[in-house]
Amino acid sequence: MTMPPRLRKAVLTAHVTTSVGWMGAVAAYLALDITAVTGDDVPAVRSAYLAMETTAWYAIAPLALAAVLIGVVNALGTPWGLFRHHWVVAKLLLTLVATAVLLVQTRTISALARAATTSADPRELPGSMVHSVGGLVVLLAVVVLSIYKPRGLTRYGRRRQQARA
């Protein structure tokens, strides 16, 4: 089932917007994480941890969930389908894993923010650089898949193609 062209463009616009927003929010989070881990100024480090929590909960998580939901709707309403092409399946899996890791990591981010407010020296806190950088790398991989669309049908996609022929 494909969507009418106007609806498809609207859904694609929403998907690109939420996906780009997600990536931008992760980049902003990474800048805060770098400040938290490398900063010398105690109030700035403390503030960075608090801003990281706010960014994770109120920007990154909602944008990630929206991008997943709208991306699934987009795939189901286009000729690409959700399970017909390897690149779409790879994008879906990478996005689901990134979202799951993010949702688990939000607890750690909140714990770091609490510790930064109660700790005498928040510069001793570990930050979350591995997750920040890793998340950004995964999102960049998803962008590459979206642009280059490597060829290759899944087994399901080949069956669907043969059934139509």
Q: Please give the full DSSP string across 29-73, using - where no structure is assigned.
A: HHHHHHHHHH---HHHHHHHHHHHHHHIIIIIHHHHHHHHHHHHH
Quick: pLDDT tens for 89-112. 999 999 999 999 999 999 999 999
Q: pLDDT confidence of 159, banded at 50, 70, 90?
A: very high
Distance CA 148, CA 84 (A): 16
Domain extents in the chain: 5-164
Classified as helix, coil or strand, 28 is helix
Q: What is the DSSP letter of 125?
A: S
- The mean of the pLDDT values for the chain is 96
- What topology is assigned to 5-164 in CATH? Four Helix Bundle (Hemerythrin (Met), subunit A) (1.20.120)
Across residues 33-51, what is the average pLDDT? 97
CB 50, CB 116: distance < 8 Å: yes
Looking at the predicted structure, is the pLDDT value of residue 1 above 80?
Answer: no
